[in-house]
Structures are given as structure tokens and as C-alpha cells.
Homo-oligomer: A and B are copies of this chain.
Amino acid sequence: MIRFECDYTEGAHPRILERLVKTNEEQTPGYGMDAHCEKARGYIRQACQAEHADVHFLVGGTQANTTIIASVLRPHQGVIAANTGHIAVHETGAIEATGHKVLILPSDDGKLEAQQVRDLYEAHWNDMTHEHMVQPGLVYISHPTENGTTYSKAELEALSKVCRECKLPLMIDGARLGYGLAAQGSDLSLADIARLCDVFYIGGTKIGAMMGEAVVIINDVLKRDFRYIIKQNGGMLAKGRLLGIQFETLFEDGLYYEISQHAVDMAMLIRAAFAEKGVCFRYPSMTNQQFPILPDAVLQKINEKYSCSYWERVDAEHSAVRFCTSWATKKENVAMLIKDIQALL
């Protein structure tokens, strides 16, 4: 069985493992106060062109989302998200467990539009009973989204503008950020991301690291006491240097982008193979996740040899599924998959 079901089926990029082995005997202070974390912070600030940003390393995405959101909101505030947002669907109510409602907006492709945010904001404040309703206090988007789609620079600028006008901080879930930046046609840089939002994170778990997400806080107001909130949410790794070492490796000479590019290239090959056979896609993704709509009979055949994620039933005879690539996706496996696609469709 060759696994394309998600982007975390293997361990870590070999260079990361090597570095962990090489540094293993070093003695460092705990909790992210070591020299590796400090170095990684420097690389990330530089990559973001955000020299005053605070950078914190957390283990996973749910933890990063919960910690950021709990830190930003007051008790009566909620976070605006697309109905497909990870926090709205796939975190077992972690946000609600911190006391906050996720205020969902409908989205077909996983993206929020600037106008939707403005409308929700105005609807709240124009309602005479607004004190009886959850106040919007933060906007959450994912880039790329859970559906592999991406914001253009113009779209993100529009969203950012509305958020600033409405005094709503904007956070970006970047669990797969690298794949978004490497997407065909993307005109967004890491510096744009940092410039246009208040807080975001750079995903490591799905892009070469064993685990780890680098939270980057741009807005000074959101920086205060963040380490307390990390600790309270169980996210302060004792051997924090393990995260520092990984991000140091990813960002010291561009490995992060290299990995991202490889995965996107592999995904584009798969995409092209499906497209050539006239297969439609559930979402217009140019990133490492591809969502072909396949006849059930073909899917069954494919699944004998390859795992993919079942996404949803489209009609009586077709299903949307998800194929993911990563740093670890082997060219020969993609070639074999393509050959099988050509044969089966």
C-alpha cells in the first residue's frame, strides 16, 4: 500500500533527523529558552521581514489555534471562520472548550471573502440586541485552506483591510503554509503574510518536521504574556530545543521552500494525470492536496494499491477523495500512480 492519504505519513526530512542526531548530546535549558530556538527565531523573522515579531514554537496545529484564540479573545467574543475551517470542524470543539464560539460563515471553497466579514461585523453592531449575541473578536483563515485553495495577494489585502477597519485581528492558520506559498500562480510571499495579518503560524508537522508549528505574532498588542497561555494550554515542550532545531534546519538555507516545492510539483503531476482523463476536481487546488471526483468503481481499484482520504459522496456513482503529497513523496510512486490512473480511467 502506498499512502497518499495525508501529508504526515512518514517521520521527518532526513536533514532534520541528522541535525537532531548531531545535537543530541548538547545540554540546553528547557522550554524554548535555548540557543537553537533563538537562532530559529532569527531565521524566521528574517524570512518574514518582521524583525520585531515574537516567535514561539508549539507542537501541533490544534494547540496553536487554541492558544492563539484563547489569548486574543475576551470571554464574550468569538472567532469568525469559514464553515470548513479546521477550528470549526476538526478539533473536537477545542475552541469552545476555551469558552469561545466559532462564528461560521458559509464558504464553498474554504476561503472567506472580505465582504462576508464586513457584513457579519455590521450585522452584529447594527442589531439592537447585540449584547445578547457573541461579539466577533477575531478572524481566522487558513492559507492554504483545508481544501487546498489559496488567497491571492489582492484577496488577502482586501480581507486585511476590512479586518483593520473593523478592529478585528486577523489570524492565519498556516499548517500547510509552505504549500500555499509554493502553489502555482501564488503571488504571496511570507513577508506579505506577515504584513497583512496580526498573527499566523508556519506549519512544520506537515512540511518536513517531526512536529512543530512556529507561531509568529506581528501585532504588539497580542504579544503580552503569550508564554503563559502556551503553558496553560499544555503546549510548552520541556525539550523545546527539539522544535528550535527543526525550524533552524528548515529556515537556515531554504529547506522549507524546497520541501514545499517538491510536494506541490508531485501534486501537479497527479492533478495533470487526472485532468487529462477528464476527471473533475472538488476544489481548484494548486497545492499539495488534490481532490479528484472519481467513479466509485475506479476508486475501489485505486484503493487496492494506494490509500487516499475519502472526502464526500458527490452522486450515486462518484466520490470526491483527497490525495496528498509531502517532502516524502517519491517520484517513482507518483509515476506508478499516474500510470495506473491512465490505465483505469
Contacts and interface: CB of A to CB of B under 8 A. Distances in A.
Residue among A8, A98, A102, A229 facing the most chain B CB atoms (10 A cut-off)? A8
B206 A238 contact: yes
A5 B93 CA distance: 36
Interface stretch (A68-76, A148-156, A187-195, A268-276): A68-76
A1 to B, nearest CB: 8
Interface in A126-165: 128-129, 131-135
A96 B211 contact: no
A49 B66 CA distance: 37
A51 to B, nearest CB: 23
Contacts of A93: 76, 78, 99-101, 134, 232
A94 interface: yes
Interface in A89-143: 89-94, 96-102, 128-129, 131-135
A63 interface: yes
A211 B234 contact: no
Chief secondary structure at chain A's binding surface = loop
Contacts of A12: 24
A239 interface: yes
A92 B238 contact: no
Interface residues of A, number: 77
B96 A100 contact: yes
Interface in A21-49: 21, 23-31
A231 interface: yes
Contacts of A206: 238
Nearest to A97: B99
Nearest to A103: B93
Given A24-B14, A231-B132, A236 B98 contact: no
Contacts of A92: 76, 131-135, 228-229, 231-232
Contact of A101 (B96, B134, B225, B328): B96
A237 B225 contact: no
Contacts of A129: 90
A292 to B, nearest CB: 19
Contact of A238 (B8, B25, B101): B8
Contact of A10 (B26, B63, B98, B133): B26
Q: Which of A14, A26, A93, A227 has the most CB of B within 10 A?
A: A93
Contacts of A27: 1-3, 9-10, 328
Contact of A62 (B14, B62, B66, B236): B236
